[in-house]
């Protein structure tokens, strides 16, 4: 059911503002100048407001204006509307001018540990008026419904109206310990279908591998172990329990120290870009923009 009072407010609040300013200035010409309107427009707003309320608000002569009883009542009840707007708008604009207030960030466990936590440390050192809440999750939560300012997600992403910032461009490569890779030498994914695999919860089964020159292969591995946590997945693969597919960005330390090696680097699950996703593509909250920039630089430094 339509709320008539709210509908009237939508139509007449600008006229109430004109009325309050007129009462303050006691002059149609001065009010018009202050509001950037013509005197005739001010007169139109007052007449329209009187018509909507069904009462006269102002008695006007060539030299003066006087509030009627109805006008005095309206001024007493609505007189603070302009001041409330000034205070409220000033408080809201703080979020556009300086980083302040709560910032809610969500990310998968390994991404959070390796990239988000260092970014939060740098961010809070620079901006001490922001309170950061980090939620560890792989769920694709509704950002608006759950009050999330930034969600770090591994693509591909579904088409949406969210804001998207690419943090890292990578691929889901096949990895294993050197010993397991030597035990199962492979030139094609089909060579690994009898090998042990570690299954990561969100990945499809069979794995849709993409190879050179657009070749594809649905890999049906023997999943002896599985997990839904990226940290547990890396641990299981690093202990030789099976082959796995994971964005190489997340195992750069293991690749660097030789704990893991990339098997058949020309084959992968395809792009594994990592994104910072915000509720709106037009982010006006400066703390969201600043944190996204610091997060992007954290990823960039890790890849150098």
Helix (H, G, I), strand (E, B) or coil at 144: coil
Q: Are domains 98-149+282-303 and 171-271 of this chain identical in fold?
A: yes
Looking at residue 38, what is its pLDDT?
93
Question: SS3 string of 193-240?
Answer: CCCEEEEECCCCCCEEEECHHHCEEEECCEEEEEECCHHHHHHHHHCC
Domain ranges of the chain: 4-90, 98-149+282-303, 171-271
Give the Cα separation of 132 and 120 in Å (integer).
7
Are residues 299 and 167 in contact, defined by beta-carbon separation less than 8 angstroms?
A: yes
pLDDT band for position 238 (50/70/90)? very high
pLDDT of residue 170: 82
**pLDDT given at position 304:** 64
Q: Contact at 8 Å (CB) between 149 and 280?
A: no
Output the pLDDT for position 293.
93
Token pair 């969500």 is found at 106
Average pLDDT over residues 115-137: 94
Region 114-133: mean pLDDT is 94
More confident residue, 234 or 228: 234
Tokens 């990823």 belong to 299
> At residue 187, does pLDDT exceed 80?
yes
Label residue 202 by pLDDT band (50, 70, 90): low
pLDDT above 80: residue 259: yes
Task: Report the range of poorest mean pLDDT among 40-44, 124-128, 135-139.
Answer: 135-139
Range of lowest pLDDT (13-17, 77-81, 120-124) = 77-81
Which tops the pLDDT comparison, 118 or 14? 118
So what's the pLDDT on residue 221?
A: 80
Asked if residues 19 and 46 have their Cβ atoms less than 8 Å apart, the reply is yes
For 171-271, the fitting CATH number among 2.40.50.140, 3.20.20.30, 3.40.190.290, 3.90.850.10 is 3.40.190.290
CA–CA gap between residue 101 and residue 286 (Å, rounded): 11
CA atoms within 13 A on the CB side of 178: 6
How far is residue 22's CA from residue 79's CA, in Å, rounded to a whole number? Answer: 11
Helix (H, G, I), strand (E, B) or coil at 162: coil
The answer to whether residue 51 scores a pLDDT higher than 80 is yes
Confidence band (pLDDT; 50, 70, 90) for 269?
A: confident
Region 270-287: what's the mean pLDDT? 84
Please state whether beta strands 150-154 and 274-278 pair in parallel, antiparallel, or not at all (unpaired): antiparallel
The two three-digit tokens of residue 38, written as one number? 């013509």
- Residues with Cβ < 8 Å from 6, sequence gap 6 or more? none
What pLDDT does 156 receive? 75
Residue 223 pLDDT greater than 90, yes or no: no
Name the residue with higher pLDDT: 106 or 163.
106
Question: Rounded mean pLDDT of the chain?
Answer: 88
In angstroms, what CA-CA distances link 24 with 34, 60, 66, 67, 178? Answer: 11, 15, 12, 11, 81
CATH topology of domain 98-149+282-303: D-Maltodextrin-Binding Protein; domain 2 (3.40.190)
Using only C-alpha atoms, the chain has a radius of gyration, in whole angstroms, of 31
Q: Which of 111, 153, 118 is nearest to 132 (CA)?
A: 118
pLDDT at 150: 95
Residue 160 has pLDDT above 90, yes or no: no
Examine the pLDDT at 78 and tell me if it is beyond 70.
yes
Segment 39-59 shows an average pLDDT of 91
* CB contact at 8 A, 75 and 20: yes
Rounded to whole angstroms, the Cα distance separating 170 from 155 reads 10
pLDDT at 159: 65
Tell me which of 98 and 83 has the higher pLDDT: 83
- Average pLDDT on 223-227 reads 86
Q: What is the pLDDT of residue 95?
A: 65
CA 152, CA 216: separation in Å to the nearest integer?
A: 28
Residue 5's SS3 state is helix
% residues pLDDT > 70 (the chain): 96
Reference 176, options 262, 255, 250; nearest CA is: 262
Q: Tell me the CATH class for 4-90.
A: mainly alpha
Band (pLDDT 50/70/90 cuts) for residue 141 is: confident
At residue 96, the pLDDT reads 64
């Amino acid at each position: 059911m339509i709320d008539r009072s709210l509908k009237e407010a939508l139509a007449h609040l600008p006229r109430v503002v004109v009325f309050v300013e007129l009462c303050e200035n006691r002059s149609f010409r001065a009010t018009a100048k202050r509001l950037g309107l013509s005197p005739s427009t001010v007169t139109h707003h007052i007449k329209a407001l009187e018509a909507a309320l069904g009462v006269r608000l102002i008695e006007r002569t060539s030299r003066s204006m006087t509030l009627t009883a109805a006008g005095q009542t309206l001024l007493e009840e609505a007189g603070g509307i302009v001041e409330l707007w000034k205070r409220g708008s000033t408080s809201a604009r703080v979020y556009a001018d300086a980083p302040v207030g709560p910032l809610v960030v969500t990310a998968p466990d390994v991404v959070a540990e390796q990239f988000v936590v260092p970014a939060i440390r740098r961010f809070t050192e620079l901006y001490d008026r922001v309170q950061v809440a980090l939620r560890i999750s792989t769920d694709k939560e509704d950002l608006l419904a759950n009050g999330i300012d930034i969600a770090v997600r591994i693509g591909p992403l579904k088409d949406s109206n969210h804001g998207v910032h690419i943090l890292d461009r990578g691929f889901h490569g096949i990895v294993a310990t050197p010993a397991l890779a030597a035990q199962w030498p492979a030139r094609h994914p089909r060579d690994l279908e009898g090998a042990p695999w570690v299954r990561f919860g969100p990945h499809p089964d069979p794995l849709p591998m993409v190879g050179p020159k657009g070749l594809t292969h649905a890999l049906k591995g023997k999943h002896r172990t599985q997990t839904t946590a990226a940290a547990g997945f890396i641990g299981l693969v690093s202990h030789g329990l099976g082959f796995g597919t994971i964005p190489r960005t997340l195992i750069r330390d293991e690749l660097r120290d030789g704990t893991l090696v990339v098997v058949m680097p020309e084959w992968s699950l395809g792009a594994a870009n990592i994104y910072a996703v915000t509720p709106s593509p037009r982010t006006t909250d400066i703390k969201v923009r600043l944190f996204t920039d610091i997060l992007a630089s954290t990823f960039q430094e890790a890849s150098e």
